A and B are shown apart, each in its own frame.
Chain A
Amino acid sequence: MIRYTLGRLVSLGLSLVVASLVIFAVVEVVPGDPAAYMLGVNARPDTVAALRAELGLDGTVQERYLGWVTGMLQGDFGVSYTYRTPVSEMIGDRIWVSLPLALYALSLSVLIAFPAGIYAASRRGRPGDIGVMGATQLGVAIPNFWFAMILVLIFAIKLRWFSAGGFSGWDAGVWSGLKSLTLPAIALALPQAAILARVMRSSLLDMLGEDFIRTARAKGLSRRQALWRHAVRNALIPVLTIIGLQFSFLLAGGIVIEQVFFLPGLGRLIFQAISARDLIVVESVVMLLVFLVIVVNFAVDLAYAAVDPRLRTRA
């Protein structure tokens, strides 16, 4: 287990280094000088040069990359070109929208997918199964941002149960915060729940064909008892992987959903930064998202290596 963990740690570090290089390189090639852009067309060259020095744009490429990475490692994400506030503060404000949204959606996805997948597997080939599978086909085909618009139309505009967008903030209480995240979370969760339910079902069906299920049945357990006591737990291993992957979809998908609901999360921050050419913000937020995704996948890998010893040897 220690060797496996170390191996995974090395590849985690490598992924992060390559990710940071790629992001830095992509942002580096953007045409245009942020300092000139901020000061406008009438700025004097010496003012632009002074601002470039202040923003740390006058170093070599290597210096700037190292400066960016070492800064981030110390929690310093640089200073926004346009707002002149530390990027870490801007991220700090918004991550409390994006992260809860992703977690909320993930919980909903699991809450919908597990019962649906288990139900479908236990009714294999019967109308209940066909119904659930049909619904999941539809679920994976619906774009989440369109589903979000439909939800707004029905629950915010027609029924007035929720507000159509915006975020009340956590200061107004957990309940009102959760309420403003509910429609976005449902929109995000539904397509993911459809995928998860399909994985849950097929994983369970694989398990139900295993010898240990036949043994359990031979010992006198009913089909249902064998399913609940033995199959479900074992079927969870592939399901966990997908849940790990889904977290990254939900975090990234949140960028689009935040646009639908005008939520002040990381997604909106990225878009504002892109249109204002605030490259340091774009770079840092994208890096943060990639970091979160890579670390979550790492944690999932470790979690199921801990659960299933067979996986450790693959490292």
Chain B
Amino acid sequence: MRWPRSLVVGAILSLVFLGGAALSFVWTPYDIELLDIPAKLQSPSLAHPLGTDQLGRDILSMIMMGARTSIAVALLAVGIGMGLGVPLGLLAAARRGSLLDEAIMRGNDLIFAFPSLVIAILITAVFGAGAMNAIIAIGIFNIPVFARLTRGGALSFWSREFILAARVSGKSPARISVEHILPNIANLMIVQGTIQFSLGILAEAALSYIGLGAQPPTASWGRMLADAQTLASIAPHVALVPGLAIVFMVLGLNLMGDGLRDLLDPRIRVTRT
């Protein structure tokens, strides 16, 4: 089997960041809590491959620690979306046409109608800025994405013969959903999960840029950019590096999502808005 090129490129890009984040648990080139003011705003050099920031901290180390924050927030937000959205979607499909189905789908429409960033800002502003609230705020908007996709995918299987066979053999709708439907729509979930993961990275960056995401001393790419804003004209690298990190991470995940879609099933189509 030939692997799609976008999958290979995307996976390599994503693995670089995942690897960097994993490595940061045991080793970073410098300790990011140690300030070294005399070495502030240095351009990239051998000692500091990505330069230093306004407090003399090593930017490569900050990027590694920031990757950890971004990945953790986005991954948990996808977890919330899948954890609640998939069961809701399966339930709606198993009881299609019922009041429950209607209620679940209308609820989804309602969440979709909200401008997600505004509500995320409201949530984090009210409950306090922080990584946990950012996860919840981003996660809530993942629920309807997965619920809709699951319901749509599941409905196309409920009319198939092997499901009919399972029903005839006396399996309950819940068991059929878990044993027969879920494995068949797992591909869809993986592809959409990758896309929501990349959207989560962008959302986390935006929230922490406006000061509502992870708080100091936790490193985050969005806050690195906020700190860099006034320094961009003196030391462009402090603004360029974290931004490029976001771009490459998101690009990698998107390419991986496209590649996975081609690999797993050329017929499925995933919506992306």
Contact = CB atoms under 8 A, between A and B. Distances in A.
- Say whether A associates with B: yes
Interface of A: 11, 15, 18-19, 23, 26-27, 29-30, 137-138, 140-143, 145-146, 149-150, 152-153, 157, 195, 198, 242, 245, 248-249, 251-253, 255-256, 259-260, 270-271, 274, 282, 286, 289-290, 293-294, 297
Contacts of A11: 106, 109
Contact of B121 (A152, A157, A251, A270): A270
Contact of B255 (A137, A198, A260, A286): A137
Interface in B203-258: 205-206, 209-210, 225, 228-229, 232-233, 236, 239-240, 242-243, 246-248, 250-251, 254-255
Given A138-B251, A152-B232, A255-B121, A145 B206 contact: yes
A248 B225 contact: no
Contacts of A198: 272
Contacts of B243: 142-143, 146, 149-150
B118 A289 contact: yes
B116 A252 contact: yes
Contacts of B273: 195, 242, 245
A274 B233 CA distance: 30
22 contacts: A11-B106, A15-B113, A19-B113, A27-B126, A137-B251, A137-B254, A140-B254, A141-B246, A141-B251, A143-B202, A143-B209, A146-B225, A149-B229, A152-B232, A153-B236, A255-B117, A259-B210, A270-B125, A271-B210, A289-B115, A290-B113, A297-B113
A260 B229 CA distance: 8
A294 B273 CA distance: 17
Contacts of A18: 110
Contacts of B109: 11, 15
Contacts of B23: none
A30 B122 CA distance: 11
Contacts of A248: 115
Interface centre among B114, B205, B209 (most CB of A within 10 A): B114
Interface in B165-219: 198, 202, 205-206, 209-210
Contacts of A145: 206, 209, 225
A260 B211 CA distance: 12
B136 to A, nearest CB: 12
Contacts of A153: 232-233, 236, 239
A255 B118 CA distance: 8
Interface pairs A-B: 3 shortest CB-CB: A146-B243, A252-B115, A141-B250
A199 to B, nearest CB: 9
Interface centre among A143, A150, A157, A242 (most CB of B within 10 A): A143
B123 interface: yes
A8 B115 CA distance: 19
A138 B121 contact: no
Contacts of B250: 140-141, 143
A279 B242 CA distance: 34
A23 B122 contact: yes
A259 B110 CA distance: 28
Given A15-B110, A26-B122, A142-B247, A256 B232 contact: no
Given A143-B206, A256-B209, 12 more contacts: A26-B122, A143-B246, A143-B250, A146-B242, A157-B232, A245-B273, A251-B115, A271-B210, A286-B122, A290-B114, A290-B115, A297-B113
